[in-house]
Amino acid sequence: MSTKTLTTAAELEQMPDDDSVRTELDQGELITMPPAGLDHCDCGAEITRLLGNFVREHALGKVYSGEAGFRLSDDTVRAPGVAFVRKERVATVHRRGFGVGAPDLAVESFSPNDSVRQLMRKVKQYFAAGCHTVWIVYPDRREIQILDAKGTDRLLGPEDTLEAPELLPGFSAPVAPIFG
């Protein structure tokens, strides 16, 4: 019987940077992910632009793109497609290397390579580490699922408006343009 070699977040942080592979750590297990498709990246880039501009204009905190790792626990590091950390938390989360704790908002894009079970596992890990809200973007369906730590679950379609009143007061963006 073989035994798995488990890795810690500290060990992952010390590994050589390999731009050819995106890696996350799930309870000690290294998870490599194939490159994302263009639809996936297009939606992520649009959300990064929308959030980044709004957050900068209103001095609300920091927005991070999809390569930013967040240490959710000693054995779990996740890199959401887009992440937002409120101004009052930036000093405790942002440091050299992986962020400490969960972002306030994590945005994940569902791709054909993903399994719903694995994606929901990530969502649970974000919430367990203190995340406030998770947006799951479904490019093929042109929908965005909004989940929050209180258990609220809403599904937005192209005719809806994306908002986050508790995290981003005043932020409002039509959903349709996010999908190009």
Q: Give a yes or no: residue 147 inside a domain.
A: yes
pLDDT at 21: 66
The pLDDT of residue 5 is above 90: no
The pLDDT of residue 22 is above 90: no
Is residue 136 within 8 Å of 108, Cβ to Cβ? yes
pLDDT at 88: 95
Residues 157-171, mean pLDDT to the nearest whole number: 96
Spatial separation of the C-alpha atoms in residues 10 and 75, rounded to whole Å? 8
The string of pLDDT tens digits covering residues 139-163 is 999 999 999 999 999 999 999 999 9
Q: Give a yes or no: residue 41 inside a domain.
A: yes
DSSP string, 106-146: EEEE--TT--HHHHHHHHHHHHHTT--EEEEEETTTTEEEE
The whole domain housing 165 covers 36-179
List the CATH number of the domain containing 103.
Answer: 3.90.1570.10
Our count of domains for the chain comes to 1
Q: Give a yes or no: residue 7 inside a domain.
A: no
Q: Give a yes or no: residue 61 inside a domain.
A: yes
Q: Give a yes or no: residue 165 inside a domain.
A: yes
The string of pLDDT tens digits covering residues 59-101 is 999 999 877 899 999 999 999 999 999 999 999 997 778 899 9
pLDDT at 136: 96
pLDDT band for position 40 (50/70/90)?
Answer: low
Is residue 99 within 8 Å of 85, Cβ to Cβ? yes
Q: How many residues does the chain have?
A: 180
* Dihedral over Cα of 169, 70, 62, 46: its sign: negative
What three-state secondary structure class fits 157?
coil
